[in-house]
Amino acid sequence: MRLLYTLLLFIAAPFLLLGLYRAKDGKPKVGKRWVEHFGRTPRLTSNTQPIWVHAVSVGEVIAAKPIVLALRKAYPDASILVTTTTATGAAIASKLGDGVEHRYMPIDFSFAVNGFLKRINPQAMLIMETELWPNTLTAVKKAGIPIVVMNARLSEKSMRGYQRVQPLFDLLSKNIDHILCQFQDDADRFIQLGVNSQNVSVSGSVKFDLPEFDETSDPVISLKQAIKQRPVWVAASTHPGEDEILLDAHQALLAEQPDALMVLVPRHPERFGDVAALIEQKGFSLSRRSQLQPIDDNTQVYLGDTMGEMMTLLATSTVTFMGGSLMGGKHGGHNLLEPASLGKPQITGPSYFNFQVIGDQLIEAGACEVHESTSGIANALLGFMNNPEKCQQAGEAALNVVERNRGAVAKTLEAIAPWIDD
């Protein structure tokens, strides 16, 4: 089974790497570090065995941040390595602070993984969510390195997919020491796939344990001053096809609320240029953050075309819309908890299955509304902007959901402690 998988990977690898290395405007470049994907990994500045956290791209790095910060505090003498597959993930990982180094994850060939392990010699591998690769897991386990999957989730659809290739899943799971699941439903599905129940536990979602964000920081204050008292909505982490719907919703909103400002933040930096062109094509007055263009009274759309500033932009909003949720189930939504942790009411499209439990809690609490059409989104935005009491109640409900679910990071550190050297 693993031999067949490796053969298929050999055929697919050029196309996978082409996607990683293709140059696009706004997309960070891998550059000369491409050799790291083949196991030619520079040694760390510290000679100690690092705690290795793998987070494939932007979303996983953001989710891993509270765990990384907690690890630094709990093990101050340990070095921490964060690996990502993508350059956009690397850009976020580089901002995790002192004591944390970044390297690119080797592609899933045994020679590449073994080269990486020889140079890095980690004491444990901690995988964010469910980024599982057969050759990697086999090589790491063979090297005597424990493997723990953190913040794991497994949808009904994914479970059925694994059942169709059960021998491959068995190959993966036998190398994993422990799986820490977000919710009991996830744990039950892993057990149904044959994972020993003693090797599965529930920690909750670490995404609830967002680091406290300073809303009085200079970037937030200066942006609020530029916006003045205008009603603002942030369309966050959007994908192709969503921008058009959301810009049309903003056009409808402006007919009723002429001073409203839309902050549009595409999910992938390589789309920044295309989205800017789309905004201008639709006739909006545009300012771009990356070009330090000021927001004036005539600005209708502010393009958040920078990396690592999502919380700053969200902090200025009256209401938010979370992208990845409009395109018929393709993406499954993005992090609803970032605006919730700031006490912001929000709107999502109907496809939020990547945050199903979290989304359902926010909706039930009255902190989030689901809308799909241009008119539905515009009316929901207007409903929040024209009703400060509704905004406040929804924001407080969002904060309550976040607060009552905190604690996953502490449970995660407790669970992984047996495999970490003090």
Is residue 184 exposed (0-12), middle (13-18) or buried (19+ Cβ within 10 Å)? exposed
Q: How many DSSP H helices and E strands does the chain contain?
A: 17, 14
The backbone torsions φ and ψ at residue 403, rounded to the nearest 5 degrees and listed phi first, read -65, -40
For residue 102, give the nearest of 54, 148, 60 by alpha carbon. Answer: 54
Is residue 238 exposed (0-12), middle (13-18) or buried (19+ Cβ within 10 Å)? buried
Task: Specify whether the CB–CB gap between 338 and 210 falls below 8 A.
Answer: yes
Structure-token pair, residue 91 = 């850009």
Task: Please state, as a whole number, how many other Cβ atoms lie within 10 Å of the Cβ of residue 144.
Answer: 6
Cα distances (Å, whole numbers) of residue 310 to 221, 234, 401: 15, 10, 20
Query: Which of 60, 101, 242, 338 is flagged as catalytic?
Result: 60
Burial 107-119 (b: 16+ CB within 10 A, else e): bbbbebbbbbbee
Structure-token pair, residue 325 = 């949720």
Task: Please state, as a whole number, how many other Cβ atoms lie within 10 Å of the Cβ of residue 131.
Answer: 17
Is 60 an active-site residue? yes
Residue whose tokens read 């059960």: 166
Count of all residues that appear for the chain in the document: 422
Alpha-carbon gap, residue 361 to 79, rounded angstroms? 37
Is residue 254 exposed (0-12), middle (13-18) or buried (19+ Cβ within 10 Å)? middle
Longest CA pairwise span in the chain (Å)? 64
Alpha-carbon gap, residue 418 to 261, rounded angstroms? 50
Structure-token pair, residue 212 = 């406290």
Q: Catalytic residue numbers? A: 60
